[in-house]
Amino acid sequence: MTGKMGNRAALVVLVLVLAGIPASIVGYQYWLRPALADHRVVDIAALVPENGGFSPDLIRVGVGETITLRFAADDVAHGIAIGPGLDIDLGQIDPGHVGEVTLTPDSPGVYTYYCNTWCSPNHWRMRGILEVVDPTAAGAVGAPPDPIIEALIAASVDIDAKPQLAEGISPDRPNGEQKLETVEVPPGLLDPTWRLSHTPAEGLVALQAQNPEVADDVLTDVTAYLWSEPTPTVEIKELFAKNCAACHGELGAGDGPAATSTLETPVAFADVAWFRRGDIWYAKIRRGGMGTDMPNFGTLFTIEETRLLVDYLWSLSFGES
Amino acid sequence: MSENQRRPITARRVILLLVVLAVLLVPIPTFHTPHSRDVVIDASQFEYSPPRLNINRGDTVNVTLNASDVVHGFFLDGYEIDSRVEPGISQKFTFTADRSGKFRYRCSVACGPLHPFMIGELVVGPNEPVWRASALAVVAAAAVLLGARKRRMA
């Protein structure tokens, strides 16, 4: 072989290496894998929100179509979950690893894939949309309206109202449980949905109207009993730990490590004054707090999960956790 | 004296050997009654506070681990302790500092660009190798001095 021919052979090998390696990677991803797979495979790169979050951040899938989502963490450790109501949690995904889930949605809807590991100060912004569309149905798909929040808005209740924190008596939940039989409870207060859209303060007023002869502290205790659930499930405690504790603190004292960086001081559920002020936690959680840095969780949690979480939050204010 | 001639085993040499063995092997007595210590370690990007822990050997260490920005980990070399901490939820664990020496603790959850440099150290005292080496140096110096004097006297 002459030197010239050797040079030419070397050049051919070089071109094959330089062009062949990228071509085989791209070819595998866009041609070979789709050709081999019997359904769509989507690769999703996960970066901290400061660097772009999920890409892609919107995925459309038809009803009944099987799709595989492959999440790769490209910078730091992320956690991937898809909600609401799908119960998909891929857990922590370290850089260099891939978390994979295959699903076949059977009804139209809008779901959110989100990070549930505190990966950066803006972690909670790390969300993407999984849209399940019915190709035969006309019209756009939207998230289903939340009946409780719709009703509140229809009744022109100001969800973002900020009344003053009130001084007053501290409720005693166990006493409320004992005294429940001795007072006349209006039927609304026994309805969990009514309790979600009304504050304990309103409940107390309703109880006082029904029982003018009973002392206020007894009625406060009964309100505390009705509005709270001091023994939450493991799932609800974990929900609080993963999504709320960074700002609101481990025991709801409003002293989480991120509490100093929010526009408004996070609510201290553990402070009984908040029980008397009585915001509609359900709406605040699902819709977010306007201008307070409180994110919206309505696209992540089911209505039932939010309800259980609210019951737990109220119980924090009596120091029973 | 020729090179291959065996050196006589004298009483001096036996004593020197015993002293050296004693320096190397006799356990160093601790004048410290082990007790329980509470330590709070705060993990943030990309450091531990405190970056260095000094603990007496035998102490029981109750660690409360906090994360103040993002998820961090805590892996303690030599003691094989691994923990993961989310901001807002402190982690508690206990270990007995029964191995002396210096051990690194490092972040075990990829927390950001400088994650590999997030390292702290646990020093469990006394620092036996240093003390033994110092004592050995003193013995060696004494042996040399004594040997030199003996040769001069001879």
Model pLDDT for residues A230-275, shown as the tens digit of each residue: 788 888 888 898 889 989 998 888 888 888 888 888 988 888 888 7
- Domain end call among A98, A133, A168: A133
- Token pair 């359904």 is at which residue? A39
* B40 in contact with A, Cβ within 8 Å: no
The band of B4, judged by pLDDT with boundaries at 50, 70 and 90, is low
Burial per residue of A271-281, b for 16 or more beta-carbon CB atoms within 10 angstroms, e otherwise: bbebbbbbbbb
Q: How many domains does chain B have?
A: 1
Decide if B89 and A241 are in contact by the 8 Å CB cutoff: yes
* Identity of the residue numbered B132: R
Decide if B87 and A258 are in contact by the 8 Å CB cutoff: yes
CA A156 to chain B, closest CA, distance in angstroms equals: 35
The band of B3, judged by pLDDT with boundaries at 50, 70 and 90, is low
Decide if B70 and A76 are in contact by the 8 Å CB cutoff: yes
Task: Tell whether the model's pLDDT for residue B71 goes beyond 70.
Answer: yes
| Omega within 30 of 0 (cis) for the link into A34 | no
Q: How many domains does chain A have?
A: 2
Q: Give the strands of the sheet with A78-83, arranged side by side.
A: A58-62, A127-133, A109-115, A78-83, A88-93
Q: Parallel, antiparallel, or unpaired: how do β-strands B36-44 and B60-67 relate? A: parallel
Same domain, A155 and A300: yes
Would residue A104 count as lying in a domain? yes
Q: Parallel, antiparallel, or unpaired: how do β-strands B119-125 and B52-56 relate? A: parallel
Same domain, A86 and A64: yes
For residue A160, the model assigns a pLDDT of 82
Decide if B113 and A75 are in contact by the 8 Å CB cutoff: yes
Strands (E), A117-184: 127-133
- Domain end call among A133, A167, A192: A133
Same domain, A109 and A181: no
Task: Tell whether the model's pLDDT for residue B1 goes beyond 50.
Answer: no
* Identity of the residue numbered A90: L
ipTM of the complex: 0.75
- Domain end call among A84, A99, A133: A133
Would residue B3 count as lying in a domain? no
Coil/strand/helix, residue A58 = strand
d(CA B93, CA A251): 19
d(CA A162, CA A63): 43
For residue A140, the model assigns a pLDDT of 64
Which residue from A203, A158, A162, A154 is spatially nearest to A314, judged by alpha carbons?
A203
Would residue A21 count as lying in a domain? no
Same domain, A280 and A159: yes
Identify the closest residue of chain B to A257 by CA–CA distance.
B68
For residue A61, the model assigns a pLDDT of 92
Would residue B64 count as lying in a domain? yes
Chain A residues whose beta carbon lies within 8 Å of the beta carbon of residue B113: 75
Would residue B11 count as lying in a domain? no
* B75 in contact with A, Cβ within 8 Å: no
CA A122 to chain B, closest CA, distance in angstroms equals: 10
- Token pair 């791209």 is at which residue? A26
Would residue A139 count as lying in a domain? no
d(CA A179, CA A185): 11
CATH label of the domain that carries residue B42: 2.60.40.420
Q: Give the strands of the sheet with A67-73, arranged side by side.
A: A54-55, A40-46, A67-73, A98-103
Burial per residue of A7-27, b for 16 or more beta-carbon CB atoms within 10 angstroms, e otherwise: eeeeeeeeeeeeeeeeeeeee
For residue A138, the model assigns a pLDDT of 67
* B85 in contact with A, Cβ within 8 Å: no
Cβ count near A196 (within 10 Å): 21
Chain B residues whose beta carbon lies within 8 Å of the beta carbon of residue A250: 88-90
A239: containing domain: 147-316
B40: containing domain: 36-130
For residue A321, the model assigns a pLDDT of 41
Mean pLDDT across the stretch B109-119? 92
Would residue B19 count as lying in a domain? no
SS (H, E, C) A274-319: HHHHCCCHHHHHHHCECCCCECCCCCCCCHHHHHHHHHHHHHHCCC
For residue A48, the model assigns a pLDDT of 94
For residue A89, the model assigns a pLDDT of 92
d(CA B101, CA B89): 30
CATH label of the domain that carries residue A109: 2.60.40.420
- How confident is chain A (321 residues) per 10-residue block, as mean pLDDT? 81 93 90 87 93 93 93 93 90 92 90 92 92 78 78 85 74 84 86 86 88 87 84 87 89 88 88 80 89 89 90 78 41
Decide if A77 and B66 are in contact by the 8 Å CB cutoff: no
- Token pair 């995904």 is at which residue? A93
Q: Parallel, antiparallel, or unpaired: how do β-strands A67-73 and A40-46 relate? A: parallel
